[in-house]
């Protein structure tokens, strides 16, 4: 092994420092959400808000002004990009001061923003989510419950379960205060994500959106929750019959809420059967299931779109297609890798690359598939029976 130059050693140390301190960036984002800093800048009504104006609006004590300014600068670097910053001369005092304005990322944190994404960062700072990451070292070395080498007894507990005493889904079903809080954050995060994805799917109804739903007269959104995506599709395509399939307790009472006339809710189990339709939608469902369960779900979906008299539909999967090893890292790939780690430690599941998706489609009996396009780190895949 060749000795590193002094320059390389310093650069390596800087890299270690960067990631050792990266939690401060995440904590600063959490703080910005909870203090409603984006709203304070937005309500100021001018292109940029000075640090002193923010301090006053948020009622930051004078003794904390320096620390607050430090945090704002952390959130305004090129790599974080939550605020843009520039130095301006203040008319009253004639002194220069740092002034901040919103970026696309911080606009998604505005309280009244329709596509608000604040719940996802807050979800990952919930103690139950934060603490399980601290035991990865002991969890990775843990072989089984019995202390034996019998493969049948291999410990399948997730890292989340080691810390919280229950699987993620069982924890959400709990009645404790922390469990209720986590459940609220989780479902809020899923709803906010569904709104953004729905907007991406139907906002180009004259272009890519119409191609995705061309010839589709009926759609079933499998595990579609409260129907955010299905409702958006139903409104964009009033001639299409849309159904949300989810567990009975999830869809109970949803039919009584306002919804498009061409949308209905149905209780059921995707592991057993799926209603027939021209298209089945699986939005961000399969990544937290193991391969065997995914094949089972896909077989039910294939049966639902196989149709009569030779007419066949398609299954639309919205999920991550992991970039291959060797592909240059970018933001989407870094997010994919982090989600892959989260799926492994939270559910004993995984994100999949294209060959792994092909393996699932082949095992479920599909004849072909096509990756249509990307929505950020995720892709839209069409699978054909």
Q: Which residues are catalytic?
A: 287
Q: How far is CA 305 from CA 338, 361, 370, in A?
A: 33, 14, 16
Greatest Cα pair distance, the chain, in angstroms, is 80
CB neighbour list of residue 228: distance below 8 Å, 6 or more residues apart: 191, 194, 195, 198
Collapsed DSSP state (helix, strand, coil) of residue 331: helix
Nearest to 192 by CA among 241, 244, 123, 126: 123
What is the C-alpha separation between 290 and 320, in angstroms, rounded?
A: 15
Distance between first and last Cα of the chain: 53
| Sequential DSSP letters for 134-187 | GGHHHHHH--BSSSS--GGGB----HHHHHHSS-HHHHHT--SHHHHHHHHHHH
- Radius of gyration of the chain measured on its C-alpha atoms: 24
What is the C-alpha separation between 329 and 224, in angstroms, rounded?
A: 32
């Amino acid at each position: 092994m060749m000795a590193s130059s002094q320059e390389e050693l310093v650069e390596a140390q800087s890299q270690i420092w960067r990631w050792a301190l990266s939690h401060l960036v995440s904590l600063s984002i959490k703080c910005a959400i909870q203090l409603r800093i984006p709203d304070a800048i937005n309500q100021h009504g001018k292109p940029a808000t000075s640090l002193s104006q923010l301090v006053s609006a948020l009622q930051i004590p004078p003794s904390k002004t320096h620390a607050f300014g430090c945090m704002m600068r952390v959130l305004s670097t090129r790599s974080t990009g939550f605020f843009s910053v520039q130095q301006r001369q203040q008319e009253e005092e004639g002194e220069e001061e740092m002034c901040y304005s919103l970026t696309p990322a911080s606009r998604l944190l505005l309280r009244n923003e329709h596509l608000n994404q604040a719940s996802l960062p807050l979800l990952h700072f919930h103690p139950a989510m934060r603490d399980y990451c601290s035991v990865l070292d002991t969890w990775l070395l843990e072989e089984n419950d019995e202390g034996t080498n019998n493969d049948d007894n291999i410990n399948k507990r997730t890292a989340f379960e080691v810390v919280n005493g229950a699987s993620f889904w069982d924890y959400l079903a709990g009645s404790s205060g922390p469990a209720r809080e986590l459940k609220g954050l989780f479902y809020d995060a899923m709803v906010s994500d569904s709104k953004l994805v729905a907007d991406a799917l139907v906002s180009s109804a004259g272009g890519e959106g119409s191609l995705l739903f061309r010839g589709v007269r009926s759609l079933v959104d499998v595990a579609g929750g409260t129907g955010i995506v299905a409702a958006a599709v139903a409104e964009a395509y009033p001639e299409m019959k849309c159904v949300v399939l989810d567990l009975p307790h999830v869809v109970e009472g949803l039919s009584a809420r306002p919804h498009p006339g061409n949308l209905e809710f149905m209780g059921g189990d995707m592991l057993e059967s799926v209603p027939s339709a021209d298209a089945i939608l699986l939005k961000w469902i399969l990544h937290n299931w193991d391969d065997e369960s995914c094949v089972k779900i896909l077989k039910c979906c294939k049966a639902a779109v196989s149709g009569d008299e030779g007419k066949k539909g398609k299954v639309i999967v919205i999920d991550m297609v992991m970039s291959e090893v060797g592909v240059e890292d970018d933001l989407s790939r870094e997010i994919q890798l982090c989600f892959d780690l989260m799926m492994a430690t939270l559910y004993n599941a995984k994100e999949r690359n294209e060959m792994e998706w092909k393996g699932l489609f082949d095992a479920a009996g599909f004849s072909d598939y096509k990756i249509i396009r990307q929505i950020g780190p995720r892709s839209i895949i069409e699978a054909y029976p």
